[in-house]
Each structure stands twice: as structure tokens, then as C-alpha cells.
Amino acid sequence: MERWVFITVIIAGYLLVTLAIGLLAGRRATHSVAGYVAADRSFGLLVMYFVTGATVFSSFAFLGGPGWTYSRGAAAFYILSYGVLGMIPFYWMGPRAAALGRRYGFVTQAQLLVGRFPSRGLSALVALMSLVAFVPYVTIQIRGAGIVIEAVTSGHVPLWLGALVAYGIVVIYVLASGAMAVGWTNTFQGIFMVVIAWTLGFYLPHRLYGGVGPMFEQLAAARPELLTPPGLTSAGDPWSWGSYSTYILVSAVGLMMWPHLFMKAFTAKDDDTLRRTVMLFPTFQLFLIPIFLIGFSGVLFPTAPDDPDFILPFMIMNTDLPALVVGLFCAGALSASMSTGDALLHAAASVVVEDGIGPFRTLADETQRTLMRGLVVAVGALAYWGAVAGGTSLVQLLATAYGIVSQLAPPIVAAMYWRRATTPGVVAGLLAGWATAGFFYFNPALKPFGMHEGVVGLLVHIPVLVGVSLATRRQDPAHAEGFCGSLDRPRTEVT
């Protein structure tokens, strides 16, 4: 059997297992909106752990991580720095959001916001901006999948076909099983990507340099500028501390505000599960260490790929690895891509229906599910078109996506912790934050200290939210208390 055929067989096997898990998982869910969007609030610790880890780390981490390390060196350390920072607040926010979800029946983030700050316009605004942030993110995942398959089959399976098959499977299991499929496939994919990353992260430095220590000795002699933050820009010039630091901050703030991640609070079985998921997250996060080792091991490699993002597939193909290892690597990369892509597609559809349409039209449960399924296909098709059409500005768009989602943090925190916040305050803050981030995105030269536009947006957003809230009429105290007060369940049921 030819090498690429053998590799294709392994990939096909992996895809079939994923499909089977996704379809089987759905048989456990009820046919309701809560079942489709929030998996009937049934996920235990094992599933939550991998859902969180596998969803956070996408093909941006699996392929982009080594790519950044390879071309920009220590600049990549920002990815290692922000995850835990963004996750710790969720130890408190997660259970509170989940308790509110149980109390008021929320399954999305915007429902929580609008529950506290009643405004249909706010709901539609959040849905629209979420969608704007989602589409480039899904596009990158689809493109990543297609490129890896094309690379490891030496071009026998072209990008458009590989991406179509991988994401065709994602669409099928998301359509059939909703959040339940996302949860169980991510468990499988999460295990896969962690094992593959740790294995390759030590194998490649050993094979090429005789170990991690010797590798860094050679690097320190040849390219010391790559080893200390803030590292380099993509053009190879020194990066600024201002950019490096604000990338960490905006990513930490944005991380838990991604609707597809925040919504997972509504899928957990109970509060302890959520808390333990946060507690265990650092163990998943550490898989970035081998990911960076892979990138560093490529620096002194004699030949280079055209695009640094493909250093990983490039080295895989040029180090005479057994075909089995290549096939498994590809499955790992596909896992990283698909486990994020499926959550994104699912969340995009849920958000548009629940938050974009729901407040304006009363829809039957069954109609909502049908609409969501239509949207999964529509968003998937749109992103697929973007992925095949190409366009390098997508990576740029993803950076802006963080600018968009990080603006959701002040209103979410206000909804759950600040009794004096008002609807006009929250709407004004969001508009000001998005307008500011947008302005600096299009005028990067004006950014103070090279700060990420999302952080500049927050610096404007928060004072506006606070100022306008204080200037407008206080909410009914009983209403605010329902969100900000104690959420302990009644200890003695009234009988």
C-alpha cells in the first residue's frame, strides 16, 4: 500500500470513530431546546474537563502555536500565560451563571444579560456581534483541517475535499445530536490532541537535537532573540512589551466570554462539576509546553515552509516518521480543529435563534430546533466558502474577534455582581467599547503603546457603563437582587 493511502485510511478511521461517537451521544438527549443547546444540563466532570480544554485549544493552538514559536519565538509565550488567568474567575462566575440558568431557564449568555437588563435590542446586538466574531473563527478551523489533510496526503486529497469531508462530519453530528455530540466527541478529541502533543513535543527535539536541553543550547547560541519575551513580530522585528502584555490581558478577558465557552456553564450537571473543571484546567493548559517545543525544534531545521503556520505538518512530512505517526498527528490536528469548530457552529446557531430571533417572535420548541439546524448548515457553508476561497487576513480577523468578545465581560460581570447597573448603562458601554475597538482596529497607528484594541475598548467601555448606570434610574431592587443576591437553593422546601 502506498504511504499516502495508508495515512488516508488512518484519517478516515479517526473520522468514522468521531462520527459514531457524535451520533450515539445524541440518543441520550431529550428532544427539547434545553437538550439541544445545553445537553439537558447533564455533563459530568470527565466530559466538562475535555469540552473546556478541547474547545479552548483549537487549530490556532495546535498549528498556530508551533507556527508562532517557530517564527516569532517567545512571543508565543503569551498563549501559555493567559489561559489560567482567564479561567480562574470562572470558579465563581460559572456556578453563579449556572444557578441563574436553572432559576430562569437560560441556555445562552445573552439570555442571562437580557434577563437582568431587559432590552430586545441588546439581545439582537449581542447575537449579531457574536456571529461576527464566530464566522472568521470557524473559517480558520475549517481551513486548518483542510490544509493538514492536504499536507499529509502529499496533495492527493486537496484542501477543498479534506475540509468538506471533515466538516461535513461535524455538521452531521451537530445536526443530529447538538450539545451532547459536542461534549462526547470533544472528550475523544481532547484525549487525542493532548497525547499527540506530548508525544511529538518530546520526540521531535530528541530526534533532531538529542533532547530538549541540547536543543535550547544550540538555539541560545544561534538565535537567542527567539528565547526571551516579548519575542518578535511576524516581520521579524522586536515585539513590544505593550502588545505582548495587552494580548495576554485581552485574551484572558475574552476567553471566558466566548459565547460557545460561557454557554458550557449551562451544560454542567452541578456546581461542583464546574468548579472542578476550573481547578483541573491548568493540567490541560500545560500541553502548550510540548506544542512550543515542536515549534522551537523547527527553528534550526535546514529547510523552511512558505507559511510558518505549517511548520508542524512540514516537519512531520520531512523527518521520515512512520506513516502511522503521521496519520495520528493528522488526527490530532483534526481533533483540535473539529472540537472547536463544532462548538462554534453549535453556539452560532443557538445564539442567532435564541437571542437574535427569540425575543421578537415566539417560536415553538420544535421550530427553534429546526431553525438551529438550518443555521448550523448555513454558518458552516459560509465559513467553508471563506476557507476555500482563502485570504490571509483571517488571522487578523480572529485577533479582532477577541476585541469583540472581550467587550462582553463588563456587562456579564455587572449582570451578576453589580446591583446598581442599568440597561442604558450596559447598552451605552457595549456600544462605546465596540466603537473604540473598531476605531483602533482600522487605525492601528494610533494605538497607545501598541496596546491591543480590545484593551483600549475596555478602558472606554467600563467608565461609560458605570457613568451612564449611575446617571439613570436604579432598577427595581427586587429584580437586581434576583441576579446579584444569594443563589443558595432554598434549604427547606415550603410544604
- Whichever of 113 and 278 has its CB closer to other proteins, that residue is 278
249 is an interface residue for other proteins by CB under 8 A: yes
- Confirm or reject binding of residue 413 to other proteins (CB under 8 A): no
- DSSP string spanning 259-314? HHHHGGGGTBSSHHHHHHHHHHHHHHHTTHHHHHHHHHHTTT-SS--SSGGGHHHH
**In 3-state terms, what secondary structure has residue 238?**
strand
Residue number, 242 or 438, with CB nearest to other proteins: 242
Whole-angstrom Cα distance, residue 146 to residue 384? 10
* 23 is a contact residue toward other proteins (CB under 8 A): no
Span near other proteins by CB under 8 A; candidates 137-145, 346-354, 408-416, 480-488 = 480-488
Among 30, 154, 234, 283, binds other proteins (CB under 8 A): 283
State the residue for C-alpha cell 458605570.
Answer: 466
CA nearest to 397, candidates 138, 166, 78: 138
415 binds other proteins (CB under 8 A): no
Site for other proteins in 289-328 (CB under 8 A): 289, 292
Would you say 79 or 344 has its CB closer to other proteins?
79
Which residue stretch of 50-58, 238-246, 256-264, 380-388 sits at the interface with other proteins (rule: CB under 8 A)?
A: 238-246
First to last CA, the chain: 72
Out of 54, 278, 375, 427, the residue judged to bind other proteins by CB under 8 A: 278
Backbone angles phi, psi at 238, to 5 degrees: -60, 135
Binding residue (CB under 8 A) for other proteins from 77, 167, 314, 441: 77
Per DSSP (E only), the strands in 135-282 are: none
- The CA–CA distances, whole Å, from 16 to 10, 19, 168, 173 equal 10, 5, 12, 11
78 or 384: whose CB is closer to other proteins?
Answer: 78
| 86, 251 Cβ separation under 8 angstroms | yes
Q: Copy the grid coordinates of residue 219.
A: 538555539
What is the closest distance, in whole angstroms, from the C-beta atom of residue 327 to other proteins in the complex?
A: 29
Nearer to other proteins, 285 or 335 (CB): 285
How near is the Cβ of 241 to other proteins at its closest, in Å? Answer: 4
Map residue 93 onto helix, strand or coil.
helix
Segment contacting other proteins by CB under 8 A, of 75-83, 115-123, 350-358, 409-417: 75-83
CA–CA dist 373, 345 (Å, integer): 10
In this structure, are residues 313 and 148 in contact, taking their beta carbons and an 8 Å threshold?
yes
Examine residue 203 and tell whether it contacts other proteins (CB under 8 A).
no
Q: Which residues bind other proteins (CB under 8 A)?
A: 74, 77, 80-81, 83-85, 88-89, 91, 211-213, 215-216, 220, 224, 227-230, 241-242, 244-245, 248-249, 252, 275-276, 278-279, 282-283, 285-286, 289, 292, 485-492
